[in-house]
Structure 1
Amino acid sequence: MNRAWKRKGVVSGVAAVAAALTACGSGNPGQAAEEGAVVDDLEIWVFSSSAPPVIKEGFATAFPDYDVDVVEIPIADLSQRLVVAMQGGDNLPDVVQLPLRESGGLFATGQFLDLTEELGPMEDDFADGILVGGNGEINAFTMGPGNMGLWVNHAALAEHDIEIPADPTWNDIVAVAEDLKAASGGTQYMFVQPPGANGANMYNAFFSSRGGSWWNQDGELAVDEDLAADTLQFMIDLDREGLVYHGVWTDATYWDAIRNQEIVGWTMNFGVGSTSLQHNVPEQSGQWRLVTWPKWSEGDDQRTGVFGGSLYAGLDGADNPAGARDFIMWWLSPEGLQAQADTLGLVSYSPAAEIIELDTEDPYFGGQQVVQELSSVPYPEFHFFHWPETEAAITAAVDQAYAGDITPEEAVAQIVEELGAL
């Protein structure tokens, strides 16, 4: 994204939020209701089932001068329905919740509210890649950014006198996986490789944590093919060495493998990793620990991998742009930050640690402050454009490479050729 909006001076994040909220159309929360003024409609489209109660109980209470209508749309249908509304120019929502993966191409249309004035002065309060937009504008910030971690059943490793070293590299983790294979007779795994699109996105998480991206900030193809191929080779080698469990976390058999300690390591984001472990195997509380995303080499900067996230963006041609600005900036108020933490786990706004409680000890993970530790790993800048097509191209090529039909170099060349034709 164009960095022409880079901030000129130091502005307190909390003060900037307060100023932005004051400057937006609603003024003092509740003022319109108190004075009997006309209440403005505010239509918000969401795909998350946890969003409606938070919006209705949190934002609507803080801003009673808006008549808030929350429309829940399945994630598979949301983008298509939005594109149809954008093409017609009517029936637009004021705000829409978007998956991060589908935002790049949509923002490139130029039909979203420019929030550079509100969010630009706060740039240093967000990690690289969190403020997103198109055409040199800031249109949104990523929420629940999907920071990846390595979740490890330390109790299962301890049965073999195996430990994860402090501040590990991926080579260190591979060495642990090899020791585990030898100690368990090849029946326990530190790595998981899912099939299809989930497998492609897992590969992409490893690639992005090395600074890789398929597109640049302007939506132009800009991939380091050597880095992409080297990363794919790393993952193929894990498979060939018998260090990988093949399965996906949505299958019941996956959780059976967790229960019987066949799977004792799992690379996944907070929303799926932490939440699913606690929901599906509560009896293993106290056994699991978080290892923040390992480095690729000693002395490297530590970066997490990209595996999702969502955001709220306002539509430029909708009826209530002031309300859209109020809504998006509300998420950075103390109440909004707490709502993010409660529903998404991770908060991508650094001053949040001084505003709300983020260092809660989690007994499931042995008292670790999981949210704080996971959030401490920098989020890499990564650009999502043409993502359905990009994901499909990666999926096809990666599956062929895992099957041994093509080399990693041929797989990456195939991806680049397909993306170059878009």
Structure 2
Amino acid sequence: MSAPTSYRRSGLIVFASALLLASCSAGDSAGKQGGRKGASGPPRVGYVVVQPSRVPMTTELAGRVTPFQMSQVRPQVAGIVQQRLFKEGQIVQQGQTLYQIDPSLYRASVAQAEANLQNAQANLEAARTKADRYKPLAQMQAVSQQDYTDAVAQSRQAAAQVAQFRAALQTAQINLRFTRVPAPITGRIGRSLFTEGALVTANQADPLAVIERLDPIFVDIQQSSADLLALRKALARDGIAPVSATVRLKLEDGSDYGATGTVEFTEVIVNESTGTVTLRARFPNTQNILLPGMFVRAQFAQAIDTQAYLVPQAGVSRDPKGNATVYVVGPGNKAVPRTVVADRTIGQNWVVTQGLVPGDKVIVQGTANLRPDIDVKPVPASAPQKIEPPRKGQKPGQGGSQAKAG
């Protein structure tokens, strides 16, 4: 092949490449112009119409589980423990005998008291008989009036002595009964702190064992006195109503405790060291999941705000100072900023307590490029996509549709 022929072919290839690049550039320019035309007009935004709602004023506080009932098993007489009559960790019934203390000395005391009572009853019988015999003799002046008075006094003294020994017998019988140590309440008993053969006394420092009733069970919740004062002030305003608090619990591992409880009462004393007030809630505990001493998180509502607004979180923004702002659809379909008070959330919504009025159209979709007082095209939030036919000079598949707001 000759050199001139090779040069001609190379020139054709270069010329064809230049034509291809020129056509691509023209297509890109046309596409950009078409895109600018499709983007003309006010931005489309989605809004929700807000109305006052009944919103619970939910609080989450720390709490600690305490038993519904707790009783220490203590001896009321001194002696040697002969038997332990229960299994540690089991459920015991009220009145069930738990320990047997050596009853020998107490049986002897009962026998002695019975003998003293019988002796006093015999003296009483003799004294009464003597007084009865002296009565007619004194009337006939066969015996002196003083002798009759002394006989009546001796009879009364004998009666008093009988009552005294009867009380001593009852005391001895009670002490004998106390040698069998019963369960004061029904509940789960812990470990025994004394074994068989140990000497126990009525005034010892340590209990024999501890019984706790765990179903139902209490949760003591700590709330600061400042929060309690704020709640009472809120209840004094219009639109805030008290409510019977239903309490939910989160356990230490973050899981939810299935059953709900109710607040039983609020203490009237503020803890001087912590500045908190204790609220006590009652829960069912049939499966013994809640154990005394366990720390939990309690969630409950102490009041209901009847004039609050629920706004989706996408519609609320915050400035560097933390102030909350929303955009509402104003007159002439303009985006109007509005400063609001939104200090807590419920689910996917902010709870707005100030800054809105019933019927406001809060923009919640298409908020990325909003600026104050710009024109917008408002539609209800999550409106379906609208498909438009291609414009003149626009190829199918290029523009021609408006997606839903946002």
Structures share fold, TM-score greater than 0.5: no
* Greater strand fraction, Structure 1 or Structure 2: 2
Structure showing greater radius of gyration is 2
Calculate the TM-score normalised by the size of structure 1.
0.17
Calculate the TM-score normalised by the size of structure 2.
0.17
* Greater helix fraction, Structure 1 or Structure 2: 1
